[in-house]
Structure 1
Amino acid sequence: MTTPIGGWNRAGLTDRSEELAVNYPYALVDRGAQRGRRMIQGQLDKVGKGRAFHKLVVNGNPTPLYADEDGRYARAYSFGSGSNSVEIRSPDGKPVKRVQFYEADRSKPQPMIRIIAAWDDSQAEVDLHVITPDGQHAFFGQPALSNGGGLDADTVDGPGPENFVMTSPMHGLYQVWINYWGNFGADGYHFDENTRQRPVITSRITLVFNENTPRERRESFVVPLRGIGELTLVKTFRY
């Protein structure tokens, strides 16, 4: 695993935190161009076959780790300040590599709400949708909200993670949705059900509150996605 230099959360990103319409963290929307913005990257000695895949675990949040034929992988992730960890686990759950680093820049707010979506089919294009108490809708077409929330990456070339983050959440009711939008292959987007790798795609959605504080709390949900176009309400919660 490539060791972070100066904190992964600053590598290749543009800080627009001074703009009133976009509060930190800046909403990175890759649209499939993650090759120029890789944040967690490395190479596996042994690549899993069939359904036996390694896992990428970031701050305790697991994601299926898909690699190319040579074992290379790259995943985008937005890190907050404080202690952070990145771990690679083998298909049987054994630790392979772990990197712990401390982001000491406390001048930027810590995420108080983080919502993470990941799934287990590398060809599936799955999207996270979040409705905030003021009625704003964060999704791939509107990643940055005027209330400070936003998506940091629209992942189209792998199983996530996609992150929604708010550093100063407003009080009220939030809705979390997951949508199996379609598939993404060598020829781009398509809607052919026969090309996906699993008959039922499993999506894991994790809610993290007060991250990297003594009051941190998390909830995880596993949602099956059976057909293209399926939109599922995962959770409503009050903050």
Structure 2
Amino acid sequence: MKTKHGKRLKVRFVLAAAVALAAIGSPGPAAATPSPGAGLTPGGLAGVDWQLDDSGSSGAVNHLSFPFTVEQDSGRTPYYWAQQFYFANGELGYTGVQPGGGGRFLFSVFGSGPTTTDAQCSDGADGGAGVSCAVSLAYTKGQTYRLLVDHTSGTTWAGTVLNASTGARTHIGSWSVPGSWGSLQASGNGFVEYYAAASSCQAVPLGAAVFGDVSSSDAGPGTSTAGEAYGTCKGLTPVTYTAVSGGLRVTTGR
């Protein structure tokens, strides 16, 4: 598949912490050069690619399902596991899970034009234009949760957490985008981020989550595949990709 690990996407990776930090009140990411014993904020650690199998379809993609299974969170540390999705005009959003604060699920969109009237959302994203939504929800390690992105009506989109075992649904938030943005593209990227301070890149604690294979009721099944390590701690914080049944396990830290 054609990946989108370009400059614009990597900026989103680094800035993605802003929503998380606003949600739990942690300090913002630092652009520190890693050195033993020096305090820094590692930020983005690893990328993931996803693509729907029917990527050549001319039909609109209006629904996406991103399964996540957190396997190791090292005592609810400030990790963020997320998948990004793109509108036809290139603007993007993301949805993901954070273990910090007891468990939070996020659903945000970037760029000028989005609006919201949802009580679980607020204006602004990553310190710029957009809308950020979040809901506190305790999760169980080893349990799969599907993060749903759905076009509901008009130009409005909603984010939902679906417990894959119980079927319980939890609303994350909703926002509307300009009509010119169109529907969603059939491929995108995800990331793993450590958004709080660490004494060094080598001190990032162990985290592991399975990015399940993406699917869509519009375009059928898809896959999640390994991207690459990146960011301030590339080569210093361990990153391991392991193909598993139904997805990709990404293990970071030690």
Give the structure-2-normalised TM-score: 0.30
| Structure with a larger share of its residues in strand | 2
Give the structure-1-normalised TM-score: 0.32
| Structure with a larger share of its residues in helix | 2
